[in-house]
C-alpha cells in the first residue's frame, strides 16, 4: 500500500528524510529540519510569484485551469450565471450554501439597507480632480470608511465582521457610482432600495432628472451576470493582497483598499481597460496581423490573453461572449467586437499562443460590453472590483477563522552584502568609484 509521504535525500549530507504529503502538498516547514550543520537555518523553498505554493487551505472557489472549470462552493459558474442573481451568488460565496428563499430575501434586504454612505465619505469625492482615476477614488474612499467605523478593527469578533461585510457589499457600488458621477461632473444619486442590487447601481450611475430611474431589464441582467462572473477567483493577486493585509488584523476597509489597488494593475483587473486601449491602438482589422507580430516579437503583450491558472479557454470569457450579443441588441453592436473576434481567431491558431496555452481571459470581452453600455474604459476595473468585494470578504473571513493562519511574512534568500563597516562621507567617493 503506497504511503502518503515523500522521501528526500540531501546529497550534501547523505541524510534521508520522510515528510508527510497531505492534499497533494508537503508543508514547507517540514523542510526546515534538513540542515547541513546544527547552526544551519534549514532548507527553504524559493518560489517568486507563488508559482507552486499554496498559501492557504480554502473551500470557496475551485479552478481546474487545464480543463477550464470554475466552481463557486462546488457549483459550476455557467449554472450560477444562468440561474442566480448576483446577491444570491454573493450569499453562496460568503456562506458556503445557496440561500433558501427566506434567507435570500433577508440577505437582499440587509445588503440594500447598507447602501448609503456617510456624508463625510461622499464629500471626499469632491476633493478629487475631475480626471482622477476611478480606481484611485475607490481605494481612497474604502480606506476612508475605516475612519467612520472604528469598531471594524475588532476583526476577531464574528458579529462585527458580519456587519462590516454587509456594509462593504452594500456600499461598494455607491462608492463606485460616486466616482463615476464625479468624473462626469454630475451630482451624486442616493441609493434606491426598491431596485435590485445591480439596478440600483445603474440608478446611481445614470439617473438624470426623471422622478424614478427605470433600468433596462436586459442591461441590468447582463450586468448582474457579469457581476456573478467576477465574484471570486480563488488566490489571485488581489485576493492574496486582501489576505496579506488582513493577516496583520488590519480592518476590512483598509484591507479591501489594498485589494483594490492590487486589482488596478494592468496584469490583473486593469487588463479590461488595457484591452480597449489596445483595440484603439490597433485601429482596424487590417492592422491586426502586424500587431500580432509585435506581440510575438516581445514588443508588447496581447492584453486580455493568458492566465496564471487557466491553460484553456477561461469559462467566464465563454459566458461573456454570449452576453455580448444580448447587450448589443439593446445598445447596438460595438464595432470593436469584430476586431476582438478576429484577434482571438488569429491568436488561437498561431503557434506562439498555442504553444504557451494563451487563451482569452475574462477581461478580453468584458470591456467591449461595458463600452457598449456607455462606460468609459477607466471605470471598467471598478466594475470588476464591485462584485469582487464578495470574494475578498469571503477570503478574509476564511483567513480570520483559520487557526493555521498567522501574519503573512515570507522569507527571502538574501544575496546582498554581508556585514561591512560604515564609510564616512569624505571617504565615499573613492569606495563608490571602486564599487562601480
Ligand atoms: N501576450 C503575449 N505573450 C504572453 C501573454 C500575453 N498576454 N501572456 C503570457 N505571455 C507569454 C509570456 O511572455 C511567456 O512567454 P515565454 O515563455 O516565451 O517567456 C509565457 O507566455 C508565459 O507567461 P508568463 O508571464 O510567465 O505567465 P504568468 O502566469 O506569469 O502571467 C498573466 C499571467 C499576468 C495574466 C499574463 O498572461 C499577462 O500578462 N496577460 C496579459 C494581461 C491580462 O490579460 N491580465 C488579466 C489576467 S485575468 C485577471 O486578472 C482578471
pLDDT attached to residue 1: 64
Q: Return the number of other C-beta atoms located less than 10 Å from residue 1's C-beta.
A: 2
Average pLDDT along the chain: 95
Cα separation values, 53 from 21, 28, 47, 50, 410, Å: 14, 9, 7, 5, 12
Pocket lining: 302 vs ligand 1, CB cutoff 6 Å: yes
Q: Is 95 an annotated catalytic residue?
A: no
Q: Has 363 been annotated as catalytic?
A: yes
Rounded (5°) CA angle 105-107-112: 95
pLDDT class of 193 with cuts at 50, 70, 90? confident
CA distance 89 to 33: 44
Neighbours of 122 (CB within 10 A): 17
Q: Check 230, 307, 314, 378 and give the catalytic one.
A: 307
Q: Whose CA is nearest to atom 9 of ligand 1?
A: 306
Angstrom distance (rounded) from CA 279 to CA 219: 23
Taking the centre of ligand 1 as the mean of its atom positions, its distance from the CA of residue 400, in whole angstroms, is: 31
Which one of 292, 295, 306 would you pick to mutate in the ligand 1 pocket, going by the greatest count of ligand atoms within 8 A of its CB? 306
* C-beta of 268 in contact with ligand 1 (< 6 A): yes
Q: Above 80 in pLDDT, residue 39? A: yes
DSSP string, 7-51: EEEETTTTEEEEEE-BTTB--GGGGTT--SSTTS-------GGGT
What's the mean pLDDT in 252-267?
98
Residue 432 banded pLDDT, cuts 50, 70, 90 = low
Per-residue pLDDT tens digits for 343-396: 999 999 999 999 999 999 999 999 999 999 989 888 999 999 999 999 999 999
Verify whether ligand 1 is closer than 6 Å to residue 292 (CB atom). no
Q: 315 CA distance to ligand 1 centroid (A)?
A: 17
pLDDT value at 333 more than 70: yes
* SS3 call for 58: coil
Predicted local confidence at residue 436, as pLDDT: 45
Is any atom of ligand 1 closer than 6 Å to the C-beta of 191?
no
Of 365, 325, 366, the residue nearest 343 (C-alpha): 365
Q: What is the mean pLDDT of residues 182-205?
A: 96
Contact 258 CB / ligand 1 (< 6 Å): no
Q: Tell me whether residue 307 is one of the annotated catalytic residues.
A: yes
Beta carbons within 8 Å of 233's beta carbon, 6+ residues apart:
61, 63, 70, 239, 388, 391
Contacts of 414 (CB under 8 A, 6+ apart): none
Show contacts of 202-211: CB within 8 Å, 24+ apart: 204/173, 204/174, 204/177, 204/178, 205/177, 205/180, 205/181, 206/374
Confidence of residue 429 (pLDDT cuts 50, 70, 90): confident
Q: How many Cβ atoms are within 10 Å of 266's Cβ, its own excluded?
A: 16
Q: Is the pLDDT at 313 greater than 90, yes or no?
A: no
- Ligand 1 pocket check for 308: Cβ under 6 Å: yes
- Given a contact cutoff of 8 angstroms between Cβ atoms, the answer to whether 332 and 237 are in contact is no
Distance between Cα 234 and ligand 1 center (Å):
18
Distance between CA 58 and CA 417 in Å, rounded?
39
DSSP-assigned beta bridge partners for residue 305: 360
Amino acid at each position: 500500500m503506497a504511503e502518503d509521504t515523500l522521501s528526500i535525500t540531501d546529497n550534501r549530507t547523505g541524510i534521508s528524510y520522510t515528510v508527510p504529503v497531505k492534499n497533494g502538498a508537503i508543508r514547507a516547514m517540514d523542510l526546515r529540519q534538513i540542515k547541513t550543520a546544527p547552526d544551519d537555518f534549514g532548507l527553504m523553498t524559493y518560489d517568486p510569484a507563488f508559482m507552486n505554493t499554496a498559501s492557504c487551505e480554502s473551500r470557496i472557489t475551485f479552478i481546474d485551469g487545464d480543463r477550464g472549470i470554475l466552481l463557486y462552493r462546488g457549483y459550476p459558474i455557467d449554472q450560477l450565471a444562468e440561474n442566480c442573481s448576483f446577491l444570491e451568488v454573493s450569499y453562496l460565496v460568503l456562506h458556503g450554501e445557496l440561500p433558501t428563499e427566506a434567507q435570500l430575501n433577508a440577505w437582499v434586504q440587509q445588503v440594500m439597507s447598507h447602501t448609503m454612505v456617510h456624508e463625510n465619505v461622499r464629500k471626499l469625492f469632491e476633493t478629487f480632480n475631475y480626471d482622477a482615476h476611478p480606481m484611485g477614488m475607490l481605494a481612497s474612499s474604502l480606506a476612508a470608511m475605516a475612519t467612520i467605523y472604528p469598531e471594524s478593527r475588532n476583526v476577531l469578533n464574528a458579529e462585527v465582521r458580519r456587519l462590516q461585510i454587509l456594509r462593504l457589499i452594500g456600499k461598494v457600488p455607491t462608492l463606485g457610482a460616486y466616482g463615476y458621477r464625479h468624473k462626469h461632473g454630475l451630482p451624486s444619486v442616493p441609493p434606491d432600495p426598491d431596485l435590485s442590487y445591480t439596478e440600483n447601481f445603474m440608478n446611481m450611475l445614470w439617473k438624470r432628472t426623471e422622478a424614478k430611474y427605470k433600468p433596462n431589464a436586459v442591461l441590468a441582467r447582463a450586468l448582474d451576470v457579469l457581476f456573478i462572473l467576477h465574484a471570486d477567483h480563488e488566490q489571485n493577486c488581489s485576493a492574496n493582497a486582501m489576505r496579506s493585509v488582513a493577516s496583520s488584523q488590519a480592518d476590512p476597509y483598509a484591507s479591501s483598499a489594498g485589494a483594490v489597488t492590487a486589482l488596478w494593475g494592468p496584469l490583473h483587473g486593469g487588463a479590461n481597460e488595457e484591452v480597449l486601449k489596445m483595440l484603439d491602438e490597433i485601429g482596424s482589422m487590417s492592422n491586426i496581423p502586424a500587431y500580432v507580430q509585435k506581440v510575438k516579437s516581445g514588443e508588447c503583450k496581447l492584453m486580455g490573453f493568458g492566465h496564471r491558472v487557466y491553460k484553456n479557454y477561461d469559462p467566464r470569457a465563454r459566458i461573456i461572449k454570449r452576453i455580448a450579443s444580448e447587450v448589443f441588441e439593446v445598445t447596438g453592436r460595438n464595432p470593436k467586437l469584430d476586431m476582438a473576434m478576429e484577434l482571438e481567431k488569429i491568436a488561437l491558431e498561431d503557434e506562439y499562443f498555442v504553444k504557451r496555452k494563451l487563451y482569452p481571459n475574462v477581461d478580453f470581452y468584458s470591456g467591449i460590453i461595458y463600452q457598449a453600455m456607455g462606460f468609459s474604459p477607466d471605470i471598467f476595473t471598478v466594475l470588476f472590483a464591485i462584485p469582487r468585494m464578495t470574494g475578498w470578504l469571503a477570503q478574509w473571513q476564511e483567513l480570520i477563522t483559520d487557526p493555521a493562519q498567522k501574519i503573512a511574512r515570507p522569507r527571502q534568500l538574501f544575496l546582498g552584502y554581508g556585514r561591512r563597516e560604515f564609510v564616512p562621507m569624505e571617504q565615499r567617493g573613492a569606495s563608490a568609484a571602486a564599487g562601480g
